Amino acid sequence: MAKNRKDIENDILIEERIGEEEDYEEYARLREEREGIRARRTRIEEENERRQNAEYERIRNRKAEEARVREEEKRWRSYERRKKKKHPVRNFFLLLLVLIAALSAVFLIYMRSLIQTVDSVDLENALESSISRQVQDDRVMAGYQNIALFGVDSREQDLLSGDNRSDTIMICSINKKTGETRLVSVYRDTLLNIGGGDYRKCNAAYAFGGPQQAVAMLNSNLDLNITDFVTVGFEGLAETIDALGGIDLEITEEEMEYMNSYMDDMYYEIGTEYDEVTDWGMQHLSGIQATAYCRIRYTEGDDFRRAERQRTVLMLTMEKAKRANPLRLAAAAGAVLGRTATSLSSGELLLFILRARMMDITESTGFPTEEDRIFATINGESCVVPYYLTTNVKKLHRTLFGQEDYEPSPAVEEFNEIINGYVE
């Protein structure tokens, strides 16, 4: 049956529609292919760029490392060239520093070995009751290290036992911050409570109870916080001065005669050789001559002048030690340490020796003061009476610690009443 026109037109429309659909599908397929090719091309380009950047980074790092190696080699070659050059000044100072360090080490080892020969005494138990609560709480005194110095004439060469009445009694007060040092002699014939209510010459305390009782006596009578002592025999003083090369001192004709007499006595007592002093005025004294000078007490001024002589010799000796070279200082330490007794530990004693070069003695005086003492015979002994003790203690604290308004403790007030009672 033949198709009519309309059917033919419909067939044509269907064929055209089918053709259009086929063309779109082909277009879509081709478009997808193009998009895929473009994406792959983009990925390839990005990968190539990444690889290229990585290669550039590797090359840059390699060049930086090569530059660092070249710079290191350059510095090393420069160092090698400097090593080959001679620097006499620099090498001299380096050698000097090494020698100083070595000598310092040897000096410290030598000092420690000498310190082992010192008689060591523990004062802790002896001082428990001698330092009053008032003194313990005093903030001003806490800023000072107070040490008792004793000089004894021990014919038996024993500094801690026997009839060792201390010919020299000094209080050495050192400002812990500044190193400023003050010396006060306590006159050996001063009437004080030497312990247990026994009032007599204060130098008897050392003979009766050694340094323990002597330090306790100073603390309780003078309101002090002394926790350490150093005792030196007169032979030790003489040998120390000799090790330092002697001292220069002006003497009178009268002193010269007494010095020769004392040296003659020491020769017969302990066999010490000496040279007589043949002139007065400014003289360069050996150790034994200076020691004899310290012992003079029969000129004008009696024991007060003797104590002053002792302080003078001690100050001149310390000044000489401050200027001494290490070898002389070591020799002096060796001389004195072998004839010393102390409560200082080995470390404290070593530190004290090293600090001695920085200590500056700014004041020196005696106790009791001239205007606050009288002479009296107490229990058959000629004594120096601190009249009044309280006044002397106030002046002592002003001298040592700068305390202008110090008020003595009740214990000192009590001792003052008893001492005054002997002469009123």
pTM score of the predicted model: 0.72
- Sequence length of the chain is 424
In this prediction, residue 170 carries a pLDDT of 94
CB neighbours of residue 227 within 10 Å: 18
Q: Which long-range contacts (CB under 8 A, 24 or more apart) does 70-73 make?
A: none
Q: Please report the DSSP string for 192-242 in residue order.
A: EE-STT-EEETTHHHHHHHHHHHHHHHHHHHT----EEEEEEHHHHHHHHH
Residue-wise pLDDT for 375-392, tens only, equals 999 988 999 999 999 999
pLDDT band with cut points at 50, 70 and 90 for residue 90: low
pLDDT band with cut points at 50, 70 and 90 for residue 225: very high
Out of 60-64, 78-82, 232-236, 247-251, the most confident range is: 247-251
pLDDT band with cut points at 50, 70 and 90 for residue 96: low
Q: Please report the DSSP string for 20-79 in residue order.
A: HHHHHHHHHHHHHHHHHHHHHHHHHHHHHHHHHHHHHHHHHHHHHHHHHHHHHHHHHHHH
Q: What are phi and psi of 241, to 5 degrees?
A: -65, -40
Residue-wise pLDDT for 404-423, tens only, equals 999 999 999 999 999 999 98
Q: What's the average model confidence in pLDDT over 10-15?
A: 65
- Is the model's pLDDT at 43 over the cut of 70? yes
In CATH, what number does 116-421 get? 3.40.630.190
Residue-wise pLDDT for 330-369, tens only, equals 777 777 777 788 888 777 776 776 676 677 888 889 999 9
Residue-wise pLDDT for 168-193, tens only, equals 899 999 998 888 999 999 999 999 99
CA–CA separation, 253 vs 260, rounded Å?
11
CA–CA separation, 44 vs 55, rounded Å?
16
In this prediction, residue 334 carries a pLDDT of 74
Domain boundaries, the chain: 116-421
The single-letter DSSP state of residue 370 is: G
